[in-house]
Amino acid sequence: MDKKEFLSKYHSLQVKIDKKKSLIEALKHSSLLSSIILEEEKQLKKLMDESKEIKIEIMKVIENLDDRLQSLLIYRYLNGMTWNEIADKLFISLRTVHRWHDMALSLLEIQK
């Protein structure tokens, strides 16, 4: 798994969690058995637990980077912000955002 894949795992899980929550809400408004809803809620809890673990892993991996690089990676991979949003938030150019991102990735050390 490369560094971007590792960092993207959290956001991917958040998308799955949102879909699962929508499904559960739809099921609650239908006349389906509560056992189906309970199973979906169990799966949701499992996804949420996994998401928390991955977030902790990511935070541990980026803790050795300087604050600006940490912020950039948090904004991108944990908060799901666009490159333009990050540039605005950090008061830097889009080009600088990409430069910092490349630098952060090159400095990251993830366990295989």
Residue range 39-96, pLDDT digits in tens: 899 999 999 999 999 999 999 999 999 999 999 999 999 999 999 999 999 999 999 9
| Tally of structural domains, the chain | 1
Residue 96 inside a domain? The answer is yes
Give, in order, the Cα–Cα distances in Å from 2 to each of 9, 31, 58.
11, 44, 13
Residue 10 inside a domain? The answer is yes
CA proximity to 47, closest of 15, 3, 77 = 15
Residue 112 inside a domain? The answer is no
CA triple 2-17-31, angle to 5 deg: 150
Predicted model pTM: 0.84
Which residue segment(s) compose the domain that 95 sits in? Answer: 3-107
